Amino acid sequence: MTGIGLVTEAGEDLGCLCVMGRHEPSHAQRRALTVLAGLIATHILQGRSTVSLEMTSQRAARTERMLHLIADAGSITDALTDMLGELCSHHGAVIGRIWRLTSPDDLMQEISRYNDDGLDAGSYYRRPPNAPVIWGNSFTADAIRRNQPRAMTYSDIEHPERYALLQAAIQSGLKCQVSFPVWVQEERFGISLAFGTERPDLDLIVADVAALANTIRPALLRKVTEDRIRYLAHHDDLTQLANRLMFQQRIAAAVDAAWSRAGGLALLPRPGLL
């Protein structure tokens, strides 16, 4: 058997070309095999380049689509919800959730969710959206708090009963998940994607989502800023209570609603306010 290394011009070892025969190859045959090995190595590199270009093109298209979704969204919550659906569809996640880590109590609050219709996730969704997760030992909360993505296969976790939501996830047939933070200014968001089969490529998924999140972070920051401006326009900055503008807008909307249904409207002020 004769072996010729598949080595690139840069010195990268790609493998070996093996030829079996009854006799040792002649000098001319060995030289021909060396040329063939070089052609095979070049072909492998070209295949890698093609795959890399395709992945780059696909990521650029996904990024552009995400930016359009964020720009058209009414709020940062809507923007992250649209982002969640895209991520779950692209990576094949059956469950996705968006969380916010609130300050100063560090409670993890769900603000959006995605669920594949083919999975019964009743036990996993033990609490409705917007209900805080009070335990601090959640993998996702830890990822958000540390600002570091995490990938985990449930079968590798010792004592899963110690972790919030994990037992329910296993009972729902989930096998693994990735959790990664999306910090936007002072807002600490996080996204978790769960899968119904064990995935050996979890680290690649984390890298892909992290790269995408970094790319669209400026657009998310603009959306957070817009939300903050809208909030300040309708609330007192000191007390955080609704201001006169919001009062007038809600009264106008109530009058319009009463007018459209030919009904009446009553306003009951609190004692001492008039």
Distance in angstroms (rounded) separating the CA atoms of residues 40 and 121: 49
Q: Are 43 and 57 in contact (CB under 8 A)?
A: no
Cis peptide before 132 (omega within 30 of 0): no
CA distances from 248 to 242, 244, 254 (A): 10, 6, 10
**Residues 87-141: tens digit of each pLDDT:** 898 889 988 888 888 877 777 788 888 887 655 555 555 555 545 454 445 788 8
**Residues 221-265: tens digit of each pLDDT:** 888 788 777 777 777 777 777 777 777 777 788 777 777 777 777
Domain that holds residue 87: 74-232
SS3 272: coil
Distance in angstroms (rounded) separating the CA atoms of residues 187 and 101: 8
**Within a domain: residue 248?**
no
Same domain flag for 47 and 182: no
Total number of domains constituting the chain = 2
**Within a domain: residue 221?**
yes
Same domain flag for 156 and 205: yes
**Within a domain: residue 17?**
yes
**Within a domain: residue 268?**
no
**Within a domain: residue 188?**
yes
% of the chain surpassing 70 pLDDT: 84
User: Is this prediction's pTM over 0.75?
Assistant: no
